[in-house]
Amino acid sequence: MSALGGKAAGGDSINPVGTVVGLVIILVSIGITAVLGSSLVIPLIGIIVGGALIAFGVHFVPVGGAPAAMGQAPGIATGVAMLAAGAGLAGLFGGAWAFETTGDFLISIIGGAVGGGLMMAITCLMVNATYVFAMGIPAASGKIAKDPITGDTFPEYKSQGTEGHGLPFISFVGGVIGGLIAGLGGTIIYIELLDAYSTGLATLMQAKPEAIAPLAISLAGIFAIGFFLVNAVLAAYNITGTIEGPHDPKFKRVPRAIIGCAVASAFCGLISLLLVTNIGM
Amino acid sequence: MEEIVLGIGITALAGALATVAGAAEDTESDIGSQGDPNSQVQLAPQMGYIHRIFNKAVSGEPPAYGLWCAIGAGVAWAFLQLNYNPALAIILGSIVAVFVQGIYCTSGYLGRTASLAKFKQPVYIDILKSLTSVTMAHAFVAIFCTTAVCYLMSAALHHPFALPLLGLIWGIALGAAGSASGNPFYGKERQYQNQKFGAGVPISASGNIVRYAEAGQRSSLDNGWFTTKFAGPASGICFGLIVFLELWRTVLFEKALAGWGAVIAGIVLILVFTFIDRWIEVWGRKTYGPYTEPEETSS
C-alpha cells in the first residue's frame, strides 16, 4: 500500500472465526448484563446499535490526513478519528440539549444527527473554499473518473503526481451523511446511558432522580464521549489512512468495522453499566 | 420573547468568541507546526533539507485542544465553585491550560527534533525560546475564547453538560474545524511555495519544504505571519459558524413545532451549505479549467 493509502489491498473479507468470537462476546456481555439487572439489557442493546452506527458513519467521512494538507489526496486534512469524533460530539451536544428541553427520544436522536451533519457541512464547505479560493485548485478525485451525483469528470482536473485534491461533491455528501449517522449513534448511546444512570444511581444512592441528575448527565456524557472515541479509533484502523467517502473502494470494508465496533461497544457497554448494578459490594 | 432575544444575543457573542478562537487556534498550530502538514517538517531533514521550522506535533490538533480546553474549563469550573468572578475564573483556567500546552510544546520540539539528529538536524535553542512563548500566547486566546463559549452555553443557555465536559467537546470540535480549514493552506500554500500555484503538490516533492524567507532563513514566525491572512480567518469562520448556527437553530426554534423546529432549521441550513459548496466547486472548475502541464504554461 502506498503512503497515501492507495487501493484497498487484502483483508477486505470478513473473518468467519473472528466474527463468531465477536458474536459470542456480544452474547456473553448481554447475558451478564441480563443477570445483573434485566432492565439494563435495553440500554446495552442501544449502546451496541449506537456503536455500530458510529462505525458506519465514520466510513462516509472523507479524510485525507497529511496528503490532503498538501493537495496530494482528496479529503479533509485531518485524521479519521479526530474528525468523526468532532462531528459526532457536535451532534451529541445538540442531542443532549434537545433531550433536556423536549424529553422526546426521537426528536433528540434526530436533533443529534442534524447537529453532526451541520458541523460536517460547514467544515466540508470551508475545505472547498480553501482549496478553490486560496490555493486555486479545483476538486478532483483520484479513485473514480466521474462523480456519481453530479456527473463531473475528474482525470483532466487532477494535478500531475497527485492522487487528486479538494473535496468533490460526492465526498461532501458523504461527509454530511457521516456526520448525521455518527451524531445519531452517539446520541442514542448518551440517552440510553442517561436512562440507565438516572434510575440506577437513584436506587443505589437512595436519592431522588432529580437530586442525582447532574451526576447522571455528566457520567452519561463522559461515557458517550468515550464510546465515540473507541468506535472512531477502531473504524480508523479499518480505514488505514485516507478514505474519500462512499465511492472509495475502502468503503467496502464497512461490515468488518460494524462487527468490530459492535463487539467493542458490547464489552465497553457492560463495563459502563456495571456502575449501576448492585453486585453486593 | 425577552428570553429569546437574550438567547440570540448570547448566541451571537458565542459565535464571535468562537471565530476568534478558531483564528487563534489555526495560527498557533501553524506557528507550532502541529497538525497534518507537520509530517513534512519531520520528513524534510530525512530528505536532506535542514530547516528552522518549529516541529511540535505532540498529537493531532483535535485531541490536543480537547485536552487544553477541558483543563481550562475544568480549572475555571473549580474556581467558579469557590465563588470567583467568572471572567477571573476563566482567565485562571486558561493560564493553567496554557502552561500545560507550553510543556507539551517544549517536550514536543526537543523530542521530535532530537530524533532527527542522525540526519544532522540541529535543535535551535533560539527557536525554542522565541517561538514557544508565541504559540502559548495564541493558545491562550484560543483556550480563553473556547472556555468563555462553554461558560455561556452552560450558565446562560443552560446546557445540561458540565463545564469541563463542554470544554472537551468544543475543544475537539475546534481542533477539527481548524485542521480542516487551516491545514491545507499552511501545508500546501506555505510549505510548498516552490511548487506551481494552482496545482496539488506532487508526491515526489514530499519533504522539499520552503526553508528560506525574503531575508535569511525562514522560521515558524514567518509561517504565522503568512497563515494569519487566510488560514486563520478561514478556520475562525468555520468554527464560528459551527458554534453560532448550532446554538442559533436551537435557541430560536427548539420550541417550534413541538421540538421539530430545530431539526428542520438544521436540515435547511445543511441544504443551504450544500448548495454553496456546489457553487464553489463549479466556480473553481469553470474559472481554473483542466490541469495543464507546467512546461506548457511556462512557455
Average pLDDT over residues A237-257: 88
Tell me whether A124 touches chain B (CB under 8 Å).
Answer: yes
The answer to whether residue A161 is domain-embedded is yes
Grid cell of A56 as nine digits = 458506519
Tell me whether B207 touches chain A (CB under 8 Å).
Answer: no
Grid cell of A212 as nine digits = 442525582
Average pLDDT over residues A166-180: 94
Tens digits of residue pLDDT in B81-94: 999 999 999 999 99
Residue A1 banded pLDDT, cuts 50, 70, 90: very low
Domain housing A127: 43-272
The answer to whether residue A69 is domain-embedded is yes
Spell out the long-range contacts of B269-275 with Cβ–Cβ below 8 A and sequence spacing 24 or more.
B269/A118, B269/A121, B269/B245, B270/A114, B270/A117, B270/A118, B270/A121, B270/A176, B273/A118, B273/A121, B273/A122, B273/A124, B273/A125, B274/A121, B274/A172, B274/A173, B274/A176
Reported ipTM exceeds the 0.85 cut: yes
Is-contact B5 B156, C-beta < 8 A? no
Reply yes or no on whether the pLDDT at B98 is more than 90: yes
Mutate to test the interface with B, among A92, A97, A120 (most CBs of B within 10 A): A97
The pLDDT score that the predictor gives to residue A3 is 47
Task: Please indicate whether, in this complex, the C-beta atoms of B188 and A70 are within 8 angstroms of each other.
Answer: yes
Find residues 143-182 of chain B whose CB sits inside 8 Å of chain A.
Answer: 158-162, 165-166, 168-170, 172-173, 175-177, 179-182
Task: Please indicate whether, in this complex, the C-beta atoms of B281 and A138 are within 8 angstroms of each other.
Answer: yes
In chain B, % of residues over pLDDT 70? 97
Tell me whether B90 touches chain A (CB under 8 Å).
Answer: no
Task: Please indicate whether, in this complex, the C-beta atoms of A72 and B200 are within 8 angstroms of each other.
Answer: yes
Residue A79 banded pLDDT, cuts 50, 70, 90: confident
Is-contact A39 B141, C-beta < 8 A? no
Q: Which residues of A touch B177 (CB under 8 A)?
A: 86, 119, 122-123, 126
Residue A278 C-alpha, separation from nearest chain B C-alpha, in angstroms: 26
Average pLDDT over residues B213-221: 88
pTM of the model: 0.92
Grid cell of A192 as nine digits = 440510553
The answer to whether residue A36 is domain-embedded is no
The answer to whether residue A266 is domain-embedded is yes
Q: Which residues of B touch A100 (CB under 8 A)?
A: 158-160
End-to-end CA distance of chain A: 52
Residue A279 banded pLDDT, cuts 50, 70, 90: low
C-alpha angle B71-B77-B83 in degrees, rounded to nearest 5: 145
**Which residue in A99, A137, A156 is closest to B200 by CB distance?**
A137
Tens digits of residue pLDDT in B15-68: 999 999 999 999 999 998 888 888 889 999 999 999 999 988 766 788 899 999
Residue B299 banded pLDDT, cuts 50, 70, 90: very low
Residue B67 C-alpha, separation from nearest chain A C-alpha, in angstroms: 13
Reply yes or no on whether the pLDDT at A144 is more than 60: yes
Contacts of residue B123, defined as CB under 8 A and 6 or more positions apart, other chains included, come to: B109, B110, B113, B114
Residue A109 banded pLDDT, cuts 50, 70, 90: very high
CA–CA dist B114, B119 (Å, integer)? 10
Longest dimension (CA), chain A: 69
What are residue A243's DSSP bridge partners? A63
The answer to whether residue A281 is domain-embedded is no
Tens digits of residue pLDDT in A224-245: 989 988 998 888 888 888 889 8
Average pLDDT over residues B146-166: 92
The answer to whether residue A10 is domain-embedded is no
Contacts of residue B283, defined as CB under 8 A and 6 or more positions apart, other chains included, come to: A132
The answer to whether residue A152 is domain-embedded is yes
Task: Please indicate whether, in this complex, the C-beta atoms of B234 and A138 are within 8 angstroms of each other.
Answer: no
Residue A170 corresponds to which amino acid?
A: I
Task: Please indicate whether, in this complex, the C-beta atoms of B291 and A160 are within 8 angstroms of each other.
Answer: yes
The answer to whether residue A198 is domain-embedded is yes
Is-contact A66 A77, C-beta < 8 A? yes
Residue B28 corresponds to which amino acid?
A: E
The pLDDT score that the predictor gives to residue A11 is 56
What are residue A76's DSSP bridge partners? A63
Residue A205 banded pLDDT, cuts 50, 70, 90: confident
Query: Looking at the 3D structure of chain A, how many domains does it have?
Result: 1
